[in-house]
Each structure stands twice: as structure tokens, then as C-alpha cells.
Structure 1
Amino acid sequence: MKKIFLISLVSMLLFTGCAFFQSKAQKSVEELVNDGMEDFEDGKYRNAIKSFETLKDWYPFSKYAILAELKIGDSYYHLKEYEQAIFAYEEFENLHPRNDAIPYVLYQIGRSYFDQMDTVDRDQSSTRKALETFDRLIKTFPENEYARKAKAHQTQCYKILAGHDLYVGMFYYKNKHYKAALNRFKSVLYNYPDVGVHQFALMLLPECETSIKNIGEKKDDDKREDTSESTYKKFLNFWKNIFT
């Protein structure tokens, strides 16, 4: 009986001792936020994330927890891990929809999509998501400094989307799918009239319309072939000047 009692006592003391030393080793919220910010400023974003995540776990009701949530998103953004950054920023917005940092958070979500945008000959999902986020920021906080910054990125998004329609339209045009090409060029004129690329769509529209009307005439078809090649060369020059 004494042996069992001694074993229990030793076990209890060991457990209490471990808990005591663990408690002493646990950093304070101030230490964690200082460590996180120092690593963030030094570009050690992985270490910063660890400190901020620990702060969130140990001190979820601290006044620094909101800062930690925000800096986790910023750290992932600087690491160019944009999906993780977007997740962190969106989580922040969901948890704190009235926080003063929301305009900045929306801007950073838009930037995370913006920085993933591909060239105009590729899929434009990221461009559209960036544009959607910047639009929401500008409409919700029109006087905010981040709304003003978003407008410059918004213009670039429109330009890329217009370039994408031009690229696809030119592909259709070169392959004699004139109706499909016509729709793409109209899209450039109607949806993106002020981004500096509409002049090329204006040049191609009448050629597409003429080609559609005369599609059954062989002579005209030969003539269109020459026109198509000539226009395509102009398009390539235009492309180099605007999109490269």
C-alpha cells in the first residue's frame, strides 16, 4: 500500500513540476508580439507567423490578437503565398467586419489576386477576382486612401481583360470565325472603352462585319485572307507596344 502511495506521490510531483516549468517558459503576450513584429520587420516571415499563431492560441482575448491575425495575412503575402494570405485576410474580415483595418484588408485581398494575374493569353480568373475586390473596396470606402490606391490597379485589371478579349478575338479572326471574333471586339468597345486598347477593336470590327456578309464568295474570301494576314501583323506590333 505504501509503495502505491509513494508512486502516486512521485507522479503527482513530477506532473506539477513539469507544469510549473512549462508555465514559467511560456512567453507573455508582449514578448510574443514583440518577437513577431521584430521577425516581420526583419523579413523573417515564417518565424513571425509562428509567434503570431502562438499568440492567437495562448491569448485569444488579448488586445494584440487582432494585430496577430492581420500580420499573419501580411506575412503570407510577403512570402507570396497568396492563397494563404487571402484566407487569413478573409477570416479577419469575417471576424471583425467593422474594424478600421477593413479597407486595408480588402486592398490586400485584391493585391493578392492582382499579383497572381497571368498574361492576357491565359486564364483571367485572378484578374476578375482582383477587380471584384477592388470594386467592392472603392464602392464601400470611396474616400479611403486604399480606395484611391485600388483605382490604379483597377485600371490595370481592365486593361488586361480587354487585352484578353483582343487576343481571343484575334485568334478567332485569324481562323475565320468572324462572328465569334466580332463579339470579342465588341466586348472590348463596350466593356473597356477607356483603357487605351479600343482603337484596335475599332479597326477590326468593320472587317469582321464585311467578312460575315460576304462569307459565301470565294473571291472575297481570298481577299479576306490577305487582309487577315496584314491585320494580324499590325496586331502583333500593337501587342508588343501595349502588353509587353
Structure 2
Amino acid sequence: MPTRQSRALLLALAVALPLSACARHRAKGDLPYVARDVGTLYSAARQRLDQARYKEAAQLFDEVERQHPYSVWARRAQLMSAFAYYLDHDYTNSIQSAQRFISVHPGNRDAAYAYYLVALGYYEQIQDVTRDQKITRQALDALGELTRRYPTSRYASDARLKIDLVNDHLAGKEMEVGRFYERRGQWLAASMRFRAVIDGYQTTTHTPEALMRLTECYQALGVTEEAKKAAAVLGRNYPGTSWYDHAYKLMQEHPAQALPAVPRGEQPVPLGTPGAKAQSLPGDSGTAKIKPGGTVTPAPAATDPDPTTAPTTATPAPAGPATTTPANTGPTTGG
């Protein structure tokens, strides 16, 4: 029969074994959640960020917020966490951290940067036009929100450029579906897609092709007057493109509907506004080409850059919010 000492020993072993197993099976990248002063935590997070250990940096920034939620560094750590997740290509956590910052600190001077991180998080996840475009529309909404709220911020110009690229991408999706219907002989469904490009994305590179294919669809449907109108608009706006050459030859096959030749270089007019003056847009187009992340190459800086200063390049790269690294003893209080 076991003695009291043996029973105590067995109980101690039963408690120690699970703890040792947890220690052995801890993931390599996990951080021990021990209590530290805010200065030590924040400095360690910045060190990981400078060493390109972005996941560890993000976890440490999260710890600053968790262990010291009411310190002056918690707000800055929250935004730096979103930045570190972005650099680690963990866009879901980056968006969530930035959105949490916006909800808690909507009037903060770094709120524009938080909106920018949200937009970039969606933008980087855009997929090719053969896939579902839900993320693309979310990126467009986030970019539009940034430009509406902060039209003069350093991030607005880059957001406007990306809005044009996203719109071109969405137009490419409509063209892809329209071509699919056209190949199957579903002329009405195809014409609706091409019409959507002309009505909603007429400043994109896909407009000339959409007009030419709309002419083909109307011809196949027997709506000859509409086909003639579409070809005429194509000729007035894009007279020097291969798309108009194709539409012109198509209409010449039907002498009663033939169009007069449009001299190359004639001043084009905007769609739907006869007689008005406008500059011509790019002509030939194919499937929308957009490479997520191709225009943004973030890199960690030695110190947190100030988002209120002017960018040094035409396309600003995301940078951390304006902060200074606290001393190991923690931030000073007061004020």
C-alpha cells in the first residue's frame, strides 16, 4: 500500500508531466507571455521589426497592447502591429489590427495611415480576372474611403492611382465574362457585359474592345441600327485602333449599314456626348493586367517614419506611424 510520501510524489509527477510536454511542443515562433515593462516590450518589438522578423514583431506589439492597454505606447503598438502583419503578408490580421485602431482612435493623426493599411491589405489580395472579384471590390471601397476622408493626405495620390488600376481590373472581369458568352453564341448576355464596361468603366483601357465586341453582338442579334451606333462611337473616339478597323470591316460586309471612313487622328469625343471635345484614351486592350503589390515595396525603417511628411517617391510605401522608441524604463507620464 503506497505511503503518504509516495502518493505526494506521484501527484507531483502527474502535474509536472503535462507542463513539460507543453514546453517541448511549443511552436518555434511562439513567444513566452511573461509580464514585462512597456519599454522592454516595445523595444524588443522594434528590434524584431528591424531584423525582418515580422511575425514575432507583430506578436510583441500585440503584447504591448495586451499587457499595457492604458499606456501611451499601446495606441502606437496597435498600429505598428498592423504594419508588421502587412510586411509578413498576413493581410487578414493586418486589416483587423488597422480597423481596430480606426474604431478606437478615429480622430488620431495616424488614422489616415490606418485606412491606407486597410486598403493595401485588400489590394494585395486581388486575384486574376478569372477568379471571384469580391476582394477587388472591397479594395475599391477601402481606397475610395481613404480618398474621401483624407483627400490631401500623403496616401491619397497613391490611392487614386490604385483606384484606376482596380477599375481597369473590374472592367477586365466584365470583358472576360462577355467573351465567354460570345464564344458560346449567347449574344444578349455578352452584349450586357460589354455594355456594362462602356457605361461603368469607359475611362479604362477596355472601352475600345468593348465597343467593337458590342458591334459584333448587335450584328448577330440583327439589331443593325444599334450596331451602327456602337461602331460610330468607336470610330469617333478611337479612330486609329485595330478595334475600329475590325468594326469598320464588319460593317462594310453589310453595304446598307456601311460607315464612312474616319480619318486617323480626328479629334475624339467622350462617349454619350456628341460633338464635345475630349482627349483620346488608350486603345488596344486585352485582359486586365494588375499585379498586386507591384507598386508598393515596404521596408522597415530604423525609426518610425512620420506620416505627415512628404513622400520621397511618387508612390509612397507604407511606413510605421510617427513614434519614438521608449527607454527600457517605460514612457514618462504626465500631460
TM-score range, shorter chain: 0.7 to 0.9
TM-score w.r.t. length of structure 2: 0.57
For residue 179 of structure 1, the aligned residue among 173, 180, 188 is 188
Alignment correspondent of 1:88: 97
Task: Give the count of matched residue pairs.
Answer: 199
Distance 1:151 1:161 in 2: 15
Q: Which one-letter code corresponds to 2:137 in the other structure?
A: R
Does the C-alpha gap of structure 1 residues 45 and 243 become closer, same or farther in structure 2, counting only changes over 3 Å? closer
Q: Report if the CA contact (8 A) 1:158-1:192 is conserved.
A: yes
Structure holding more helix per residue:
1
Structure with greater contact order relative to length (CA < 8 Å, sep ≥ 6) = 2
Q: Which one-letter code corresponds to 1:27 in the other structure?
A: R
SS of alignment partner, residue 243 of structure 1: coil
Alignment correspondent of 2:47: 38
Alignment correspondent of 1:4: none
Report the RMSD for the aligned CA atoms in angstroms.
Answer: 1.9
Q: Report if the CA contact (8 A) 1:73-1:88 is conserved.
A: yes
Alignment correspondent of 1:151: 160
Q: Report if the CA contact (8 A) 1:186-1:205 is conserved.
A: yes
For residue 80 of structure 1, report the CA deviation from its aligned partner.
1.0
Distance 1:139 1:238 in 2: 30
For residue 132 of structure 1, the aligned residue among 135, 141, 149 is 141
Distance 2:146 2:128 in 1: 24
Identity %, equivalent residues = 27
TM-score w.r.t. length of structure 1: 0.77
Alignment correspondent of 1:100: 109
For residue 59 of structure 2, the aligned residue among 36, 50, 61 is 50
Q: After TM superposition, what 4+ stretches of structure 1 lie above 6 angstroms from structure 2?
A: none
For residue 239 of structure 1, report the CA deviation from its aligned partner.
2.7
Q: Which runs of 5+ in 2 are unaligned?
A: 1-33, 224-245, 248-283, 291-335
Q: Report if the CA contact (8 A) 1:82-1:113 is conserved.
A: yes
SS of alignment partner, residue 155 of structure 2: helix
Distance 2:39 2:182 in 1: 64
For residue 239 of structure 1, the aligned residue among 279, 283, 286 is 286
SS of alignment partner, residue 64 of structure 1: helix
The answer to whether the aligner puts 1:213 opposite 2:259 as a matched pair is no
Distance 2:47 2:171 in 1: 43
The answer to whether the aligner puts 1:170 opposite 2:179 as a matched pair is yes
Deviations 1:119-162 (A, max 9, x none): 01111111100000101111111111111110111111001000
Distance 1:135 1:72 in 2: 24
For residue 50 of structure 1, report the CA deviation from its aligned partner.
2.6
For residue 167 of structure 1, report the CA deviation from its aligned partner.
0.4
Q: Which runs of 5+ in 1 are unaligned?
A: 1-24, 215-229, 232-236
For residue 116 of structure 1, the aligned residue among 122, 125, 139 is 125
Q: Report if the CA contact (8 A) 1:103-1:147 is conserved.
A: no
Distance 2:285 2:71 in 1: 56
Distance 1:31 1:192 in 2: 52
Q: Report if the CA contact (8 A) 2:146-2:156 is conserved.
A: yes
Distance 2:40 2:289 in 1: 48
For residue 238 of structure 1, report the CA deviation from its aligned partner.
4.7
Q: Report if the CA contact (8 A) 1:134-1:150 is conserved.
A: yes
